Amino acid sequence: MNFKHYSENLHNTIKSLDGFQIEALIDILFDAYKTGKMVFVMGNGGSAANASHFAQDLAKGTRLSLDQEKRIKALSLTDNLPFVTALGNDDGYHTIFEQQLRTFAKQGDILIAISGSGNSPNIIHAVEWANKNGLVTIGVTGFEGGKLRTLIKYSVHVPLNDMCTSESIHSIIFHYVIIQLQEMIKGDLLSAK
């Protein structure tokens, strides 16, 4: 495949996405901003990198000033390496996200699970716990969505059997979400003046 074919495939896949799924994600995150709920993001490998980037953009990229009091509270569960490696070593890698949620999450918080395959055991365990404990669960998937797509309350699905390109499109979606949230938060802050 040459770059022209790759870019056409990328463009066609983006055009095929369900915009309502993405708008629902934006609405959930804007509600978290308004209500002060925590947003947790998790993933493995390239999805871990996307989780870190998205959580950082949610927490800092939607902040419009240094003294802004109301903000999106977001953390990536991939970023506390000592905690992740202790959990993986002592309790098993499948526990690394669930155990962090047991420590930090409360009912009504949001969990965003990013998984190209939708079948990573540590993602599945965490989402099952989150569903039982009243978190809002969102899955961002590729391929067929795997088991994750059957467990989550809200789905953002990239129907593509290519891990690299799915992860790239996830990143594009996340940047779009941030741009939209910036505008919504700006409007909220202006209306409060």
Nearest one of 98, 100, 50, 61 to 80, comparing CA atoms: 100
Angle, to 10 degrees, between the axis of helix 163-192 and the axis of helix 46-56?
A: 10
Half-sphere exposure in the Cβ direction for 90 (13 Å, CA):
7
User: How far, in Å, CA of 24 to CA of 192, rounded?
Assistant: 24
- For the chain, the domains span 3-192
pLDDT tens, position by position, 137-179 = 999 999 999 999 999 999 999 999 999 999 999 999 999 999 9
Class of domain 3-192: alpha beta
Nearest one of 104, 146, 123, 111 to 45, comparing CA atoms: 123
Chain mean pLDDT for the chain = 97
